[in-house]
Structure 1
Amino acid sequence: MPVNATLATYSDWMYNSAVGVYLLATFLYVYEQAFGRAPVKAKERDLVVAGGTGDQWKPGLVVPTKPERSRAERFGRMAVALTLLGVLFHVAALVLRGVATGRAPWGNMYEYGALLTLAAVVTFVVLMRSFPIRRLGGFVLVPVVILMFLGGTALYAPAAPVQPALQSYWLVIHVSVISISTGMLLVPGVASLLYLVKAANDRKPEKFAKFAGRLPSADTLDRLAYRSTVLAFPLFTIGIMFGAIWAEAAWGRFWGWDPKETVAFVSWVVYAAYLHARATAGWRGANAAWINTVGFLLTVFNLFFINLVTTGLHSYAGVG
Structure 2
Amino acid sequence: MPINETLSQYSDWSFESSFTIYVLAFVLLIAQYASVKASAVHSKELVGSGAPIATATGPGRIADAPKPPLSERLAGMGYALLILALVLHVAAVILRGFATHRFPLGNMYEFVTMATAAATLTSIVLLRKRAMRPMLVFVLAPIIILMFLAATKLYADAAPVVPALRSYWLPIHVTIVSVGSGILLVSGVASLLFLLRIKQPAGEEKSTALGRFAAKLPDAQSLDRLAYKTTIIAFPLFGAGVILGAIWAEAAWGRFWGWDPKETMSFITWVIYAAYLHARATSGWRNTRAAWINVGGFVTMLFNLFIINMVVSGLHSYAGLN
**Residue identity in the other structure for 1:248:** E
Moved more, 207-216 or 244-253: 207-216
SS in 1 for 2:259: coil
State the AA in 2 paired with 1:277: A
Equivalent residue, structure 2, for 1:264:
266
For structure 1, the residue ranges without an aligned partner over 5 or more in a row are 55-64
Give the 3 Å change call, closer, same or farther, for CA 248–123 of structure 1 in structure 2.
same
1:73-119 CA deviation, whole Å, 9 max, x = no partner? 21110000000000000011011110111100111111111001000
TM-score by structure 2 length?
0.89
Contact 1:195 1:289 survives alignment (8 Å): yes
Larger deviation, residues 105-114 vs 310-319:
310-319
Give the 3 Å change call, closer, same or farther, for CA 39–122 of structure 1 in structure 2: farther
Structure-to-structure mapping, 1:31-46, within 5 angstroms: 31-37=31-37
Q: Aligned runs of 1:72-87 on 2, under 5 Å?
A: 72-87=71-86
- Quote the RMSD (CA, aligned, Å): 2.4
Q: 1:130 Cα shift?
A: 5.8
Alignment of 1:151-162 (within 5 A): 151-162=150-161
Aligned residue among 280, 286, 297 for 2:288: 286
**109-118 vs 65-74, which deviates more?**
65-74
- Structure 1 pair 190–239 and aligned structure 2 pair: CA distance change class (3 A): same
* Structure 2 unmatched ranges of 5 or more: 58-63
* Deviation readout 1:252-311 (Å, 9 max, x if unpaired): 111111111111111111101111111112211111110100000111111111111110
What is residue 217 of structure 2 aligned with on the other side?
Answer: 215
* Residue 175 (structure 2) aligns with: 176
How far is 1:317 from its partner? 3.5
1:160-207, Cα deviation, whole Å (9 max, x unpaired): 110101000011100110011001100010000001111112287445
Residue deviations 1:93-148, cap 9 Å, x none?
01111011110011111111100100000011110246831111111111111111
More deviation in 212-221 or 198-207? 198-207
Per the alignment, residue 60 of structure 2 pairs with: none
State the 1:215 CA deviation: 0.6
Which residue is equivalent to 2:106? Answer: 107
1:242 matches 2:256: no
User: Is the CA contact 2:39–2:69 (under 8 Å) kept in the aligned structure 1?
Assistant: no
Looking at structure 1, the residues matched to 228 and 307 of structure 2 have their Cα atoms a distance apart, in angstroms, of 27
Please tell me the residue identity of whatever aligns with 1:290. Answer: W
Letter in 2 for 1:215: L
Q: Which of 209, 226, 229 does residue 227 from structure 1 map onto?
A: 229
Are 1:202 and 2:204 counterparts?
Answer: no
The change in CA–CA distance for 1:39 and 1:318 in structure 2 (over 3 A counts) is farther
In the alignment, is the contact (CA less than 8 A) between 2:131 and 2:218 conserved in 1?
A: yes
Corresponding position of 2:14: 14
* Residue matched to 1:295: 297
Question: Which amino acid in the other structure matches residue 4 of structure 1?
Answer: N
Between stretches 276-285 and 153-162, larger displacement belongs to 276-285
User: 1:111-190 maps to which residues of 2 (within 5 A)?
Assistant: 111-129=110-128, 132-190=131-189
Distance 1:262 1:233 in 2: 17
Distance in 2 between residues matched to 1:66 and 1:264, nearest whole Å: 54
Inter-CA distance 36–53: structure 2 relative to 1 (3 Å threshold): closer
- For the 8 Å contact 1:7–1:100, the answer to whether it is kept is yes
Give, in whole Å, the separation in 2 of the partners of 1:238 and 1:68.
49
Are the aligned partners of 1:308 and 1:318 in contact in 2 as well (CA < 8 Å)? no
Report how many aligned residue pairs link the two structures.
Answer: 305
One-letter amino acid of the counterpart of residue 35, structure 1: S
One-letter code aligned to 2:300: L
